[in-house]
Amino acid sequence: SSSSSSLSASLIADPSSEILLGPGAASLWQALWGWVPEWVMREQPTCVFRASRDGYNLRTLYRKCEHIQPVLLLVRTTEQEVFGAFIASELSERHGAHFFGSGETFLFSLLPNPKCYEWTGETDFILRGTDEELAVGSGGGAFGLWLDGELDKGSTSCCQAFNNAPLTSAGADFSCAAIEVYSLA
């Protein structure tokens, strides 16, 4: 979009990020910002949760993100792959095993190859959150992105909600090296 392309990379890059770092970080932030819907306030993202600082615990992630929308979830695996989700709804809307969420939510991969996977409209299985798991996207018997309650393991598969390829090159299961959540409000 025209407004996102006019933003400077320095505005949207977080120098303290443990996930998007190094010489290519600004261009990855720029790619991410280009996928974010126009209605999102164009201000500096604020890191509201960093697992290395706040603990590898999903309940803590929920608590730190309570009443904040939208948020950007970033995951770096032990294989140095980076991906995540733009979550347009408040995570406090979660109610047990029930799905919730807005069709503006999307999955993305950044490293090794930037790609955005928007909601297909084929299913309303957008988000599901319990104390034991967070799932983004479902349908067809698989989750687009799934994280466990200790935020150390996850999985990724093609799902109907986003018609995404697995977000890791190996597909399926992965181990988390870092997780960050940014407020875009």
Whether 18 shows a pLDDT value over 80: the answer reads yes
DSSP strand pairing (153-156 vs 71-77): unpaired
pLDDT of residue 173: 95
pLDDT, averaged across the chain: 88
Per-residue confidence at 10, pLDDT binned at 50, 70, 90?
very low
pTM of the model: 0.90
| Residue 41 host element (H or E) | none
Q: Cα(75)–Cα(11) distance, rounded to whole angstroms?
A: 21
146-182 confidence digits (pLDDT tens): 999 999 999 999 999 999 999 999 878 999 999 999 9
Per-residue confidence at 8, pLDDT binned at 50, 70, 90?
very low
